[in-house]
Amino acid sequence: MYLGRVIGTVVAERKYEGLEGMKLLVVEPLDHAGKATREPEVAVDTVRAGHGDLVWLVGSREAALALEPWFVPVDAAIVGIVDDIDAAQEKPAK
Amino acid sequence: MKLCRVLGSVVGSVHHPVYDGQKLLIVVPVDGGDSFLAVDRVQAGVGDTVLVNQEGNGARQLLKMGQQVPIRSLIVGVVDEVHRDE
């Protein structure tokens, strides 16, 4: 799992069966200090996250397991909204 | 599995139901690489060196929460000592 910042939304009308109605957000993966770790990616939202929110995500096959139905082609899912980070080093703004 | 150091913790009240009551820690690989999050089931603390399993099937087996568990990284041990050739 990893941290990320919601930086946009994606609208895709024609989607694979099982993905209808799912909210797609553009997320920039971050480390604990708020530094981007790789290129932004598209993730399915399961927690009603909004633009600018600091969230955590699960990747790979486990992303699909956050969804109902779970047998869907998804490789990143937002599974939590961060309230607070308690880390010894610098942390990203909420 | 990866050797990592625990940097801190993350809390969030809005989350997927499987994260209810789970301790979520920030870990960074000791050999370099970006920090990531892992669920802790071995009472690890900040500064500990830990063993992190980054694979969902193993996590599902250990967590015993059924098959539909969106958790992929799990701290499975607190490391006391590592010996290796430099």
List, for residues A35-64, the tens digit of each pLDDT value: 999 999 999 999 999 999 999 999 999 999
C-alpha distance from A46 to closest chain B C-alpha (Å): 7
pLDDT of residue A89: 63
Please list every residue in chain A whose beta carbon sits closer than 8 Å to the beta carbon of residue B16: 46-47, 66, 79-80
3-state SS class at A18: coil
Single pTM value for the model? 0.89
| CB neighbours of residue B41 within 10 Å | 14
Whether residue A73 lies inside any domain: the answer is: yes
Whether residue A33 lies inside any domain: the answer is: yes
Q: How confident is the model at residue B59 (pLDDT cuts 50, 70, 90)?
A: confident
CATH number for the domain including A18? 2.40.50.220
Whether residue A45 lies inside any domain: the answer is: yes
Return the bridge partners of A56, or none.
Answer: A3, A80
B70/A63 CB distance under 8 A: yes
Number of domains in chain A: 1
Q: How are beta strands A41-45 and A54-59 bridged, if at all?
A: unpaired
- Domain hosting residue A20, numbered range: 2-81
Whether residue A89 lies inside any domain: the answer is: no
Whether residue A29 lies inside any domain: the answer is: yes
Cα–Cα dist A52/B35, whole Å: 21
* Residue pLDDT, tens place only, A69-84: 888 899 999 999 999 9
The ipTM value here is 0.87
Of A1-10, A81-90, B42-51, the least confident = A81-90
What is the distance of C-alpha B66 from the center of its chain?
19
Whether residue A93 lies inside any domain: the answer is: no
Whether residue A90 lies inside any domain: the answer is: no
B12/A89 CB distance under 8 A: no
Does B22 contact A at CB distance below 8 Å? Answer: no
Does B37 contact A at CB distance below 8 Å? Answer: yes
Of A32, A60, A70, the CB nearest to B72: A60
**Nearest partner of B7 among A35, A32, A56, judged by Cα:** A32
Chain B residue with minimum CA distance to A4 = B36
